[in-house]
Amino acid sequence: MRIASKVFGGSILPTGRIPARGQDGGGQAPPGRDLRTRLYPAAVSSPRLGTPVVALFVSASALLAPATAGAKVTLHTTPAITPRFGLSVPDYVSRCQPTQPLRFTVDASKGDTVAIGGGPKRTGRFTTDVYLRTNAAVPVRVTTNGRESTHHVRCLPQDFPQWTVHRHRRPEAQWYVLTPVGRYSDGYIAIFDARGVPVWWMHSSWYAPWDGKLLADGNLIWSRIFGTDFGLDPRGAWEEHALDGRAVRVLQTRRTPTDFHDLEQMPNGDFLLDSYVRRSKVDLTRFGGPRYANVYDAEIQELTPQGKRVWSWNSKNHIGLSENTWWKDIESAQNRRPPAERRYDAVHINSMEPDGGGIIVSARFLDAVFRITGVATVRRATRRPPLRRPHPDRLRQRRRALAARGPAAAGGALPDRHRQPHRHAAREPERPGGPEVGMGRRRPQARGR
C-alpha cells in the first residue's frame, strides 16, 4: 500500500502492537505536558448525543473481518466520509464543518438496521444529523443478517494534510506511522490503518514532527524539525509519547544540536542519535568553496534513556572532505545565502542501524553506506562499497550493498525488519539548501577506503 502526501519519515507498526479498546473508551485522553502540543482524543462525547463514542483503535479481527454476504445497507454523509462505507471497514474520517452537522443518509433493507450514535436502531431510508466537534467521533452500529458490526466516523481537523491511498494488494502491516507535515512551522504525526485511514493523530503548532516511529515499549517517538537542512537548531530533539499523549521523555545530543533525520533504539535500551559539530576556518578552495568555511562534521552519540552520553563517534577523524561527492551542489546552495549564514555539511547522515557490534550508516553526501565497527571499544569506521543512487537509505538498496561483501563483512544477517521495504518509503530525498525534491540525476560514486 502507498499513502501519498507531503510525508517525511515513518515506520510500520506490526499487527497486534496497538492495544485494542472497547467501544466506550472513556473520556478525553489527557494532553501532553507541553501545552503547545495538542492530543486528539481517544474518546469524546457528541454534544447532541451526549454519550462517549469512539475507540481510538479497533481490534485486528474487526479490521480484517469480511463483509456480510447479501448486505444491502448503504450509508453516505455530508461532508463525505473517507473511505466509502462498507461493512468490512471499521474506521472513517470526515472534514466536518465547525458550525454544520454531519448528515447521515442511510438506506437499510427490510430486516437490516442502523443506529447512529446513541440513537435507536432504524430500518428503511432515513436521514440523521449529528453535531460533532473537531477530533470527536460517532459510532455507527449496523445489524444485517443477524450480525452486528460497529463503525466509527471521526472529524478531522480542517488543516490536516490532504492524502491519497493506492492499495495494490494486501498490505503487509496493520498500522503505519507517518508524519504528514504541511509547513516547517507546524505539522502532524498520525497513525494510519491498513486502508490508509488516519485513526490517531497529534499536532504541533511550533515545530514539524518528523520521522515518527514505534519503540519496543509501544510508545511513539519523533523528532522536531525547524526548516534547516540538517541539525543546527538548538531546539532540536526527539520526543517520546505514550499513545494517550503523555510525554515520556525528550532526548537531545550532548553539547551539539540534535539532528532530526534518525534515531534508533539499541538492544540494550540506549538510543543512537546523530548531530553535527562545527569546524571553523576550513579551506574549501580545492572544492570551489571559500578559504575560511564553517564545516559541520557528523557525530553519532549513544544516549541512555536518561539522556547520558556513553559513546560517540565523529566523522572528522575517519572521513576526508574529498570523499564528499556533492561539493558542487552544496556550493551552489550556500552561495545563495549571506556569507555569515553559510554552513557546509561534510557528510549528511540520513539513517543509522545497530548491527551486532557495529552501526550501519547511510550518508547522503558520500553516496555510500558504511559500517562503524567496535562500537563498545574501538571508535573507528570501516567503509563499505557505495550505492549507485544518491539517497541510499532505501532498505533494499542497503541490504544489496552489504550483501555484495558477504555476511561476514556486514556483521551477520540483517534484522528481519530490513526485509520490509516500507519503513523509510515515505521519506522523500533531500537537496542541500532547498526544498524537498525528487532525485534529478545519478550521482558519482564515492571513493572507497
Predicted confidence at residue 404, as pLDDT, reads: 43
Predicted confidence at residue 64, as pLDDT, reads: 37
In angstroms, the CA 74 to CA 238 distance is 45
Predicted confidence at residue 184, as pLDDT, reads: 61
Give me the residues of the chain with pLDDT under 70, please: 1-71, 181-185, 375-449
Strand order of the β-sheet with 74-78 is 74-78, 102-108, 124-130
Expressed in angstroms, the distance from the first to the final Cα of the chain is 39
This prediction has a pTM of 0.70
Cell of 445: 560514486
User: Under DSSP, is residue 32 helix (H, G, I), strand (E, B) or coil?
Assistant: coil
Half-sphere exposure of 354 (CA within 13 A, CB side): 17
Q: Is 376 exposed, middle or buried (0-12, 13-18, 19+ CB in 10 A)?
A: exposed
To the nearest 10°, report the CA torsion of 13, 17, 20, 21: -90
142-179 pLDDT, tens digit each: 999 889 999 999 999 988 998 988 888 889 899 999 99
Q: Is 280 exposed, middle or buried (0-12, 13-18, 19+ CB in 10 A)?
A: exposed
| Overall size of the chain counted in residues | 449
Cell of 319: 572521513
Predicted confidence at residue 75, as pLDDT, reads: 96
* Residue 37: strand pairing partners: 204
Is residue 244 within 8 Å of 30, Cβ to Cβ?
yes
In angstroms, the CA 349 to CA 263 distance is 11
Q: What is the DSSP string of 36-68?
A: TEEEPPSS-B-TTT-SB---SS--HHHHHPPPP
Instruction: Answer positive or negative: Cα dihedral of 218, 391, 394, 277.
Output: negative
Cell of 404: 555484495
Domain boundaries in the chain?
Answer: 41-155, 252-419
